[in-house]
Chain A
Amino acid sequence: MKKKKLTERSGLKVFAAALFAILFSACFFCGILTLICLQNNVYFDGGDELMQNELYSGGMQGITYLESNINRFETDGGSYKALGDQGEFEKSSVPDGNFIYVIKSSRDEGGAVLYTTGSSSAEHTFGYQKIVFDRRAVIDTVDPSDRLDAYHGFESVPEADVEIESGSVDAYLSGNLMMKITGAGILEGSEAEFSLMSIDPETHEVSYSDRMRLFAESKVGDILPLGIFADNPDLWAEDMFTVEPKLTVYSSDLAENSEYQVWQTMIGSVNINMLTNTANIGGKTYTLGTEEAGKALDDYLRAVSLPLEQRAALISTVNNGLCHVSDIYFKGTGASGQAVTYYIDAYADLTPSVVNSSMVTIQAVRMISALRAFFPALLGVFGILLTVCAVFIICAAGRRAGADGVYLGFPDKIPFEIYLALCVCAVPLGWAAYKYFAYSHVFTQFMNVRIFEAIIGVAIVFGIGLLLAIVMQTLSARLKSKKFFKYTVVGAVASLIVKFFKLIWHLISSLRQTWITLLIIAAYAAVIGFGLLAGNVYICLAALVSASFLVMIWSAGFDKLRDYAKKIRDGDLDTSVDRKYLFGNLRKMADDLEGVGGGVKLAVDERMRSERLKTELITNVSHDLKTPLTSIVNYVDILSKDDISDENAKEHIGILKRQADKMKKLIEDLVEVSKATSGSINVNLERTDLNLLITQAEAEYQDRFRDCGLEPIVKVPKEKLISELDGRLMWRVLDNLCSNVCKYALSGTRVYISAEKSGERAIISFKNISKSSLDISGEDLMERFVRGDSSRNTEGSGLGLSIAKSLCDLQGVGFNVTIDGDLFKAIMEINLSDDSGLLEDEPTDDAVHEEQAEEPAEEADENA
């Protein structure tokens, strides 16, 4: 069995398509990672102590710890330990009367800043929402500048005030924790999100929960139950013992394009434009994320005094460029026109529930950071593999073992438009996937990733890759097969239309010519009528001209057909009609005529073939007959020479001899006649002098005529009769006629042999008186094996006249026999050459020399 080529293995093709999709996905993600790395190349480096990347990882637990215990400790320093993070914190004062707790995590590069107000009951965590805690766990107010989750599209509600009613731990534990709406900013459709952490007093198990509350029809003053949350126990370590309800209120009335309005912000005298990705520092414009920008900002910050949070925001933004990872405050306009301070936090909730995944994030970020130099390289490698895979798919398309040419499988017969539609759909999907992966920090913040979304995203990318592979395969197979349009809706519709028009054309062309002509005349009448009505003489003129043209073309075609028909009539069967200018019924007629010609030709050829076979048969048979006949003739001859005294025997031998001779003659004639009738005799037409021919023949037969008691009378005209004939064949005709005369003419009569000119023809006639009465027509006499005497006892085969006629036919000579009583007449009509008579009895030297004319001339002179 023949080994399959690589390109003919269908399994390999499927594998290649899958590989293509995988490589495509790989390229996609590598490309995105490369882009992220390019955009955020400062991001992982930090630069300012305050903006350590792991601000929230290393110092996170410190912040949480302080938040939880600040009132209790009222301390200037201490240590903390929670959730695998431990370190020290130190209190220092800042100019505006607030405090900063600098938290130093024991982890590498760990650390955070806790920014608090001067009051003991209100702390502000940097980069975090402001929540008021106290021992009684009463949530007092919500900061007006509360956060906005940028990519969730929520806007904080500035004036919302929510109070926890009966906010004691006991109340909470007993399930009576209630929330009272105290502010007026909560609009219909707003949501309140609050987190509750609880610890079981007995088991010390901690529960934590995020809840959303929809203030659907709530009014100020309503008291709403917060409910009891005792699920999700596995997050807190035993040293966390405080119930920490916190509340974030969002509103969803942010105008859709608010996101863009806020991209420009001014902090201090630094103007940051997120749209152009530039920062204007000290009158100079820098590209965000560049080293120069970082240095300029550094100088600026040394010179001015800015609130720490603004300082942090600036450093983060300027260093990171279009960074979604940094925290930044800025002012914007809400949908309802109010001034809003936005806070973008790409880290989202830093609630305890996500701390662990935040760790994972940090690790992932570190890994990505370490690998970022490789992403372009990886992209290159995957790109090359992808190209190789694509080349293989294109080459293998349409190949199949055992199939000649291009094989089109099932996927290649689906209308191509479906693939096109899929591709069109794939474009926005791909764009969405790109945006999702490029901007949603999938790679830097796994904690925010919703697994389901990510899977869908990956699936879309893979699907697009697969679609590309399939489209590439089927497109190249279709193009290779050169039947691209066959399996498209457009192609199918087009072929249907073509079929329809063909049908119409067929209907029209099957009409008889009369009807077609009538239709054409009607059409022209309509056009001319329209032209007359419209008063436009040009329409009429154009119609007349085109009609004349049509008639001309038709007539030309008709003439062509007539010529062809004439050719067929004249026996020229090998020609065909030139179909140019022939259309419609004329073309059909040409087909019919050719059919007639072909049929006739076939019949003629068949006839010729059978005649030739017959001749061959007769020749062979006669050859086989001649061999035994030779023996018979010879031995009869030998016997006749023996001295035989018996008279009877002698007589019998004589009979044998005569019959053997007759048989010999018969066989010869038989071969002759079959050759003559089947045309297998070569005819060499040469200029022949008819007068001379007759004289020569008469001379040959002079003695025999005399022996038969016949008196030949030869009459030839004075002028020369020259004709194109084969002298040898013509002699055989005359030979047969003369020998017939000898055999059948009445002894003692005269035989008239004459030649005369009659117009362009010469008439040669033989006339004699028959020995026996002839009750048979001349026509019959020329048939084979017919003789004047029905007894058939005379010598002769009865083939003589038949042979003569066939030989004459071969040379284009008319041969006819008539019988008038006992008068037998053989008449030959011969076409004379045009210059007959010009060849006078003049020249000698330019006599016709048959072969090597020059050589014997000298001998002749010498011997003369």
Chain B
Amino acid sequence: MYNILICDDEKDIVSALRIYLQGEGYGLYEAYNGSEALKILRSVKIHCVLMDIMMPKVDGISALSELRAFTNVPVIFLTAKSEDVDKILGLNLGADDYITKPFNPIELLARIRSHIRRYVTLGSLPESPDVIRVGGVEINDVDRMVTVDGEEIRLTAKEYDILYFLMSNAGSVYSPSEIYRKVWGNVPVGVDNAIAVHIRHLREKIEINPAEPRYLKVVWGRGYKFDKEA
């Protein structure tokens, strides 16, 4: 059984989260400020932390930098601050994810699941050079199998080729023409739309929230990329 620490000064939100998470069979610990959370983290083995940023006493940012000193447990910020700056700050400080309030409970649960799975299986490096892993996405070129957080995903042949191409060049931006040339091996003529649709389908398959993708990102007006740091 995995343990989850919920940390939010808003008691109502904590209990709502409890209702959601209990149904999933997690062990739950609750804290109402940063220092309580740190106390629990020091005494209990926790597999995932949900933390608000704006809290009394010790806020989420300081609690994060403090807990990073002794554990690399996945931390998901759950906050009403939706500015880009806040997100970047949180992620830079070592948060694993950032979910803004009001959140979609289904997405939240999916993300928690994803993080726990990655946290627990972390350390098992790809066995062969044919296996590429970026974040929670793993692609095995030998049996042409793709897993996201350990779960197998079914892809069409072209989707697989596109994903493989982008993953093996993770971090770089490619225009649809380039992707087409690489994957189809043909001279691209009016393929933008086709590629765009393929990418969208791919996204729907591997992303938890396709509208806010973590891996397969659209670089508007320039192309697509597989984000290296997921």
Q: A692-B176, A692-B221, A695-B196 are in contact. Are A851 and B228 (CB under 8 A)?
A: yes
A residues within 8 A CB of B103? Answer: 630
Which segment of A11-19, A321-329, A351-359, A854-862 sits at the interface? A854-862
Tell me the nearest residue of chain A to B165, going by C-beta. A860
Proximity string of chain B (141-173) to chain A, C-beta cutoff 8 Å, 1 when within and 0 when not: 100000000000000000000001100111111
A residues within 8 A CB of B174? Answer: 847
- Pick the most buried of B20, B103, B182, B221: most chain A CB atoms within 10 A of its CB: B221
Q: Is B115's CB within 8 Å of the partner chain A?
A: no
Q: Is B67's CB within 8 Å of the partner chain A?
A: no
Q: Are B196 and A638 closer than 8 Å at their CB atoms?
A: no
Q: A671-B82, A689-B175 are in contact. Are A730 and B220 (CB under 8 A)?
A: yes
Indicate which residue in B16, B169, B182, B193 contacts A699 across the interface (CB closer than 8 Å): B193
Q: How far does the alpha carbon of A853 sit from the alpha carbon of B174 in the complex, in Å?
A: 11
Q: Is B223's CB within 8 Å of the partner chain A?
A: yes
B residues within 8 A CB of A731? Answer: 218, 220-221
Q: How far does the alpha carbon of A637 sit from the alpha carbon of B107 in the complex, in Å?
A: 13
Q: How far does the alpha carbon of A534 sit from the alpha carbon of B28 in the complex, in Å?
A: 113
Q: Are B101 and A841 closer than 8 Å at their CB atoms?
A: no
A residues within 8 A CB of B12? Answer: 631, 635
Tell me the nearest residue of chain A to B52, going by C-beta. A627
Tell me the nearest residue of chain A to B12, going by C-beta. A631
Q: Are B102 and A857 closer than 8 Å at their CB atoms?
A: no
- Please give the distance in Å from B175's CB to the nearest CB on chain A: 7
Q: Are B168 and A859 closer than 8 Å at their CB atoms?
A: yes
Q: Tell me the chain A residues, 580-631 only, with Cβ under 8 Å from chain B.
A: 619, 622-624, 626-627, 629-631
Tell me the nearest residue of chain B to A672, going by C-beta. B82
Q: With contacts defined as CB atoms under 8 Å apart, how many contacts are there between chain A and chain B in the complex? A: 154
- Pick the most buried of B103, B164, B219, B220: most chain A CB atoms within 10 A of its CB: B220
- Pick the most buried of A619, A695, A849: most chain B CB atoms within 10 A of its CB: A695
A residues within 8 A CB of B16? Answer: 630-631, 634-635, 638
Q: How far does the alpha carbon of A632 sit from the alpha carbon of B181 in the complex, in Å?
A: 50
Q: Tell me the chain A residues, 175-231 only, with Cβ under 8 Å from chain B.
A: none
Q: Is B56's CB within 8 Å of the partner chain A?
A: no
- Pick the most buried of B13, B129, B165: most chain A CB atoms within 10 A of its CB: B13
Q: Are A629 and B172 closer than 8 Å at their CB atoms?
A: no
- Please give the distance in Å from A704's CB to the nearest CB on chain B: 11
Q: Are B181 and A844 closer than 8 Å at their CB atoms?
A: yes
Q: Are B220 and A848 closer than 8 Å at their CB atoms?
A: no
Q: Is B66's CB within 8 Å of the partner chain A?
A: no
Contact-residue bracket for chain B? 35 or more
Q: Are B101 and A629 closer than 8 Å at their CB atoms?
A: yes
Q: Is A863's CB within 8 Å of the partner chain B?
A: yes
Q: Are B173 and A849 closer than 8 Å at their CB atoms?
A: yes
Tell me the nearest residue of chain A to B181, going by C-beta. A844
B residues within 8 A CB of A668? Answer: 82
Q: Is A412's CB within 8 Å of the partner chain B?
A: no
Q: Is A831's CB within 8 Å of the partner chain B?
A: no
Q: How far does the alpha carbon of A629 sit from the alpha carbon of B132 in the complex, in Å?
A: 41
Q: Are B173 and A850 closer than 8 Å at their CB atoms?
A: yes
Q: Are A629 and B173 closer than 8 Å at their CB atoms?
A: no
The size of the chain A interface, using a CB distance under 8 A, is: 57
Q: How far does the alpha carbon of A623 sit from the alpha carbon of B81 in the complex, in Å?
A: 6
Q: How far does the alpha carbon of A623 sit from the alpha carbon of B100 in the complex, in Å?
A: 10
Proximity string of chain B (93-132) to chain A, C-beta cutoff 8 Å, 1 when within and 0 when not: 0000000111101000000000000000000000001101
- Please give the distance in Å from B171's CB to the nearest CB on chain A: 5
Q: How far does the alpha carbon of A619 sit from the alpha carbon of B199 in the complex, in Å?
A: 34
A residues within 8 A CB of B220? Answer: 688, 693, 696-697, 727-728, 730-731
Q: A634-B16, A730-B220, A863-B141 are in contact. Are A847 and B196 (CB under 8 A)?
A: no
Proximity string of chain B (176-198) to chain A, C-beta cutoff 8 Å, 1 when within and 0 when not: 11100110000010001100110
Q: How far does the alpha carbon of A693 sit from the alpha carbon of B103 in the complex, in Å?
A: 29
Q: How far does the alpha carbon of A803 sit from the alpha carbon of B221 in the complex, in Å?
A: 20
Indicate which residue in A629, A687, A849 contacts B102 across the interface (CB closer than 8 Å): A629
Q: Is A780's CB within 8 Å of the partner chain B?
A: no
Indicate which residue in A619, A688, A689, A844 contacts B83 across the interface (CB closer than 8 Å): A619
Tell me the nearest residue of chain B to A862, going by C-beta. B129
Q: A638-B19, A671-B82, A714-B193 are in contact. Are A692 and B222 (CB under 8 A)?
A: yes
Q: Is B80's CB within 8 Å of the partner chain A?
A: yes
Proximity string of chain A (681-722) to chain B, C-beta cutoff 8 Å, 1 when within and 0 when not: 000001111111101111110100000000000100000000
Q: How far does the alpha carbon of A634 sit from the alpha carbon of B109 in the complex, in Å?
A: 13
- Please give the distance in Å from B78's CB to the nearest CB on chain A: 9
Q: How far does the alpha carbon of A451 sit from the alpha carbon of B58 in the complex, in Å?
A: 100
Tell me the nearest residue of chain A to B225, going by C-beta. A850
Q: A638-B19, A863-B141 are in contact. Are A850 and B175 (CB under 8 A)?
A: no
Indicate which residue in A624, A727, A841 contacts B221 across the interface (CB closer than 8 Å): A727
Indicate which residue in B164, B165, B175, B197 contacts A702 across the interface (CB closer than 8 Å): B197
Tell me the nearest residue of chain A to B217, going by C-beta. A850
- Please give the distance in Å from A396's CB to the nearest CB on chain B: 64
Q: Is A403's CB within 8 Å of the partner chain B?
A: no
- Please give the distance in Å from A679's CB to the nearest CB on chain B: 15
Q: A619-B83, A630-B102, A841-B188 are in contact. Are A727 and B219 (CB under 8 A)?
A: yes
- Please give the distance in Å from B93's CB to the nearest CB on chain A: 19
B residues within 8 A CB of A441? Answer: none
Identify 8 new A-B residue pairs, CB closer than 8 A, beyond the known A634-B16, A634-B105, A688-B222.
Answer: A627-B10, A634-B102, A689-B222, A692-B221, A696-B218, A853-B171, A860-B168, A863-B141
Shortest 8 CB-CB contacts between residues of A and residues of B? A699-B196, A727-B220, A688-B221, A693-B221, A626-B80, A634-B16, A727-B221, A731-B220
CB pairs A–B below 8 angstroms (24 shown): A619-B83, A626-B80, A626-B101, A626-B102, A627-B10, A630-B80, A633-B102, A687-B222, A692-B223, A693-B220, A693-B221, A696-B221, A700-B200, A727-B220, A728-B220, A847-B178, A849-B172, A851-B228, A852-B171, A853-B172, A856-B170, A859-B168, A860-B165, A862-B129
Spell out A's residues near B (CB within 8 Å): 619, 622-624, 626-627, 629-635, 637-638, 660, 664, 668, 671, 686-693, 695-700, 702, 714, 725, 727-728, 730-731, 841, 844, 847-853, 855-857, 859-860, 862-864
